[in-house]
Structure 1
Amino acid sequence: MPNTQGLIETQEFGAVLEIRMVKPKVNAICRRLSHAIFTAATYLQQTPHLNVGILTAPGDRAFSAGWDFNEVAAYAGDEAGETVPGGFGGITSLWSLDKPLIAAVNGPAVGGGFELALACDIILMADHAYFQLPEMRRGILPDAGGLQRLPKRIPYNVALEMIYSGRPMLADEALRWGLANTVCARAELDDQARRLAAQVAEGAPLALQAFKQVMRAIDGMPITEAMRISRSPDDGLATYRAMQKSEDAIEGPRAFLEKRPPQWRGR
């Protein structure tokens, strides 16, 4: 695993990479933490035996308290840290990350911390955790994914009310709107996230990545257009086309007919 400056810890569970933010005291997002998360996510993407990632933090005090205001002066004029690889937080604009990422939200996720969770594909929450976008009260906007992603995940009017008011969304409300897939006690969160990640990791490696590529490509399309997935070389769907012609696309049906687990080769 590349050097992540001691701001995150990583652990592998088979085909799953767990990425834990450990920046004292509340994982406030600075350039160094953004680079560390980017480095870990890049390692996930580039390591063949890893299929799924989990982004979380230890304890129950915070998932992330958002932007580190000690770096406000350093960020001045940068447009929310766009000079950081992968965008603010290292993953909010990391379009090359095609492997699924699960957020296990162990505590409050505020501002940029919430945007980190929104950049993940699936969200699990501890029952005491909450989401909040208080940027309006700080003279800025949650434009590192909050205003772009949240209105697509929950009802539009609820997202706007949350952004305008800056009020917190508790875990039970996040579950009710479908933003969180699961809410559980903090003591159960890590095991639940690892079980889900292991289940997801059983999928064919190319299919897992092709799914994320296709979902990104068809976002916002009318269904009639989305049903006609482009085959052009520059459509951003190289993994989807590779999947269609792969050995794994033959192995999957064959294993089903032979009543045995598939032996994926990732090609």
Structure 2
Amino acid sequence: MIQIEQISKKYKTAENYSVSNLDLFIAEHEIFGLLGPNGAGKTTLLSILCSLIKPTSGSFTINGLNYKSHKNELKQLIGIVPQEYALYPTLTAFENLKYFGSMYGLKGKNLDIKINAALDHLGLLAFANKNIETFSGGMKRRVNLIASILHEPKVLFLDEPTVGVDVQSKNVIIEFLQDLNKEGTTIIYTSHHLNEAELFCTKVAIIDHGKLIVKGEPKELISKHQGAHNLEEVFLSLTGKGLRDYA
């Protein structure tokens, strides 16, 4: 589904590359976790794949389409759930979703049915006509997720989709994503919740300093690292225990 070849990105004011000569293949129907410490290059790589920023060098394809010559087609193929809320606070949940759906060319009764079904699935139908600014963090995350999937994307990119939410919201979000994956959506996911990633992802890649360190199934990576009992221990053995604060 995604083929990344020698992708690099260096921001104008930066001393080092955020992503450096990275090669990666992501198969169709995977739930693929991009894991790494702060500043490892995860969000930069996602932004490149979503055509939000241009790579300094290298190339990638999604579903066989090259980003240089098929940018508009690629945008129709993907859905994006950013780390920050991307919603209009003074509009209702339904109004937000109606607006985002219309941006993908969806309209009329079919769009209304899709919105109501998704709100119902994620426990939000009773709040459809409430302003987003009154919602809890977990509720906003769920509306953000719905906005990204109304056009039924082949690939869904999620940047920290469960950060700052309660356990119940997190559980509902994960189950909803698993259902989407069973229906054929390929999911690319970043998170600092390694226990969650271990259970949720079919494969993961750990990157650091913009480079790919290791890739494989979580159980496979745990079994290959002597003394590791979970994915977090594998992660720390590969990236170190030093703090990764940056400004």
Q: Is the pair's TM-score, using the shorter chain for normalization, greater than 0.5? A: no
Considering Cα pairs closer than 8 Å and 6+ residues apart, tell me whether 1 or 2 has the greater RCO: 2
TM-score normalized with structure 2 length: 0.30
Structure with a larger share of its residues in strand: 2
TM-score normalized with structure 1 length: 0.28
